[in-house]
Structure 1
Amino acid sequence: MKIERVETFLVPPRWLFCRIETSDGVVGWGEPVVEGRAEVVRTAIETLSEYLIGQDPLQIERHWQVLSKGGFYRGGPVLSSAVAGLDHALWDIAGKVYGAPVAALLGGRVRDRVRVYAWVGGDEPAEIADQVAEQVAAGMTAVKMNGSGRIQPSPSVAEINDIVARLTAARSALGDTRDVAIDLHGRVGVAGARRILRAVEDLQPFFVEEPVLPEHMGHLPEVVGASTVPLALGERLYHRADFVAPLTAGVAVVQPDVSHAGGISELRRIAVLADTHGAMTAPHCPLGPISLAASLQVAFATPNFLIQEQSRGIHYNLAGDLTSYVTDPTPYTWVNGHAEWNPLPGLGITVDEAAVRAADKTGHAWRNPMWTHEDGSFAEW
């Protein structure tokens, strides 16, 4: 069995899928995408495919090593995401060939269901409370929300009080038996992050995500030491070596993305590294159905897994949802805030190829918003 063809599909709302077909007719699917740079990743897939054509698809680790290290210049979000999507597809093929879910090939499941959380928005505390209440009614046990909208790198007292008010509203709707996490998106500086963490500490957030930007990683020890709030980060890190410094600094939760950080193969290794530091994994995944399916396979087989991000109902996906490109939505039906074990082989989903090919004819050119402060200077989105 050899790899005969590699194709990519640019599909709304902002995703890129890849399809690998073998000489035996087995097909695997992956989701290699950098949000806002999907076209660039598509070109990277074309280049990497020059190596893959004619290869045995079951030699997954061999291919991962070559695809990741075969060029003199390595790493970065574009290359790592391209490798990730190809890796998904190869694991999908392996599961179908062996007649087993990918989680079984990773050593078997260590849990019977995977806890997921829902994203909630709303700029006003009252809106937050209403949206959280809707998720509670739907059976969710955890939510995540933005800590703020546009905010100054050195936040004002009013801006910090607004974060506290939003979190207070969410906590009031959740009670003490459910969890709420907040995402700061690296929008504030180191000193601002420390102030925010101290301000929200009594509300006991599940974790605070991306308190500072990756380029400020050297200051993480002082941010971690500012409060008892668990810190989480990792969506903008692409290799296990990138996680050594934050784990050493005491970050409690790592959030690699299976579509950015080298795929299933590397996500698994990052989780093992985190385990050696007593940290948990909560994979980043506000993406499409293939990415989530791949991430769930790792979650079922990972002992130090905490919770899974997922994008059902997220504001990015108004032009398409997780179920838009699969024939059966069952794997994306949450039961009491959890994804149930899926025994189907490979990634456990059947991609609607006709829908994907039709969507690719339209494509997309999604770009993230560009924000500025009131003085016209650049603001982190």
Structure 2
Amino acid sequence: MKITGLTTYLVAPRWCFLRIDTDEGVTGWGEPIVEGRAHTVAAAVDEAADYLVGQDPLRIEEHWQVLSKGNFYRGGPVLSSAVAGIDQALWDIAGKVYGVPVYQLLGGHVRDRMRVYGWIGGDRPDVVADAAKNMQNQGFTAIKMNGGGEMRRVDTAAQCLALVDRVAAIREACGPEFDIAIDFHGRFTMAMARRTLPLLEPYLPFFVEEPLVPELTDQIGQICSSTSIPIATGERLYSRWDFKDVLSAGIAIAQPDLSHAGGISEVRRIAAQAEVYDVALAPHCPLGPIALAASLQVDFASPNALIQEQSLGIHYNEGSDLLDYLVDTSVFGFADGYVTRPTKPGLGIEVDEKEVARAAEVGHRWRTPTFRRDDGSLAEW
């Protein structure tokens, strides 16, 4: 079997899909994307095609090594994301060739269902509480919310207390069995994180995500040691080498993204690496159905997988949503806060190729929003 071609599709709302074809008619799908840089990653995939076309698609590890380490310049979000999408598609092909789900090739499943969480929006306590209650009524047992919008380097007491009020409102509305995760999105400085986390502790958040930007990864140990709240990070870390220091710093949850951190091959290694530090795995995934399918394959094979992010109804999904590009949407049927283990070969999904091609004719040019503070200076998004 030989690879005959790689085709990328830019589809709304902000995704990039990849199809890898072979001379035996087996096709694999991946999702190589850096949000806001879809065209750039697609170009990197096109460059990788010079090496991949004519190769045996089942030599997954060999191709990962060549694509990740075979060039003088390596790593970073763009190149790692290109490799990630290619890796997903190659595993999809392998599963289809052998007639088994990818997790079977990773050693078999260690659980029968995987817990998932959803996103909520809203800035006022009553709005956030209603949104969380609605998610709870849909069967979800956990949600994630943003910790704040544009932040000053040291912001007001009102900003801190407003976040506390929102979390308190959700806790009151949904009760102690409902988990609340808070995404700081790198918008908080060290000073603001240390100021705010103690105020949130009485409400026992599930975790606080990305309290610092990745450039300050060497300082995350200070955050971990200053609070009882579990700290999660990793969506902007792209390899096991990037995770080495944060795992030893005391984080509770590692969040590699299957579309950024080298795909199934590398995230499976990161999951095993995290086990050594008693750190749970919760793959980052505010993306499309292929990325979610790849994430779940790793989850079902990883003993330390805790919970899976998914993007159904997330605020980014304007015009298209998670299920729009699938032939059978039941594979992502969430019940009681869980998704059932997929059983179909490969990634376990059937991509609607006609709908993908139609959407790609329109494409997208989604860009990261630019946040500015009230004085006009640039703020972290």
> TM-score interval w.r.t. the shorter chain?
over 0.9
1:244 deviates by 1.0
Whether 1:358 aligns to 2:358 is yes
In structure 1, give the amino acid aligned to 2:104. Answer: A
Q: Over aligned residue pairs, what C-alpha RMSD do you find?
A: 0.7
- Which residue matches 1:138? 138
Any residues of structure 2 matched to 1:80-119 within 5 Å, and which?
A: 80-119=80-119
SS where residue 316 of structure 2 aligns? helix
- Measure how far apart 1:221 and its partner are: 1.8
Preserved contact between residue 155 and residue 188 of structure 1 (Cα < 8 Å): no
Equivalent residue for 1:219?
219
2:210 alignment partner in structure 1? 210
Distance 2:220 2:11 in 1: 37
Secondary structure, in 3 states, of the residue corresponding to 1:358?
helix
Query: Counterparts in 2 of 1:364-375, with a 5 A limit?
Result: 364-375=364-375
The structural deviation recorded for 1:177 is 0.9
Separation in 2, partners of 1:214, 1:128 = 28
Residues 134-193 of structure 1, C-alpha deviations (whole Å, 9 max, x = no match): 011100000000011222121211110011001111111221111010000111211211
Q: Are 2:19 and 1:19 aligned?
A: yes
Question: What is residue 201 of structure 1 aligned with on the other side?
Answer: 201
The SS at the match of 2:335 is coil
CA distance in 2, matches of 1:284, 1:293: 12
Q: How does 1:259-270 map to 2 (within 5 A)?
A: 259-270=259-270
2:349 maps to what in 1? Answer: 349
Across the two proteins, how many residue pairs are aligned to each other?
381
Q: Indicate whether 1:283 and 2:292 are aligned.
A: no
Percentage of identical aligned residues? 56
Q: Distance in 2 between matches of 1:188 and 1:140?
A: 28
Partners of 2:191 and 2:145 lie apart in 1 by 22
Q: Which residue of 2 aligns with 1:61?
A: 61
The code of the aligned residue for 2:105 comes to L
Contact 1:325 1:352 in 2 (8 A): yes
Q: Secondary structure at the match of 2:243?
A: helix
Q: CA deviation at 1:195?
A: 1.1
The CA deviation string for residues 21-56 of structure 1, in whole angstroms up to 9 with x for no partner, is 111000000000000000000000000111000000
Other-structure match for 1:28: 28
Aligned to 1:239: 239
Does residue 160 in structure 1 map to residue 160 in structure 2? yes
Deviations 1:246-267 (A, max 9, x none): 1111000010000000000001
With normalisation by structure 2, the TM-score equals 0.99
TM-score (norm 1): 0.99
SS of 1:317 mapped into structure 2: coil
* Letter aligned with residue 258 of structure 2: V
In structure 2, the residue corresponding to 1:85 is in which secondary structure? helix
| Range that drifts further, 100-109 or 316-325 | 316-325
Gapped regions of structure 2 (runs ≥ 5): none
CA distance in 1, matches of 2:4, 2:218: 45
- Secondary structure of 1:123 counterpart: coil
Report Cα offsets for 1:284-323 as digits up to 9, x if no partner: 0000010000000100110000100000011111211111
Q: Which moved more, 1:188-197 or 1:3-12?
A: 188-197
User: What is the one-letter code of the residue matched to 2:271?
Assistant: A
Partners of 2:167 and 2:14 in 1: how far apart?
Answer: 29
Match of 1:294 in 2: 294
Structure 1, unaligned runs of 5 or more: none
Instruction: Give, as a single letter, the amino acid of the residue that structure 2 aligns with 1:97.
Output: V
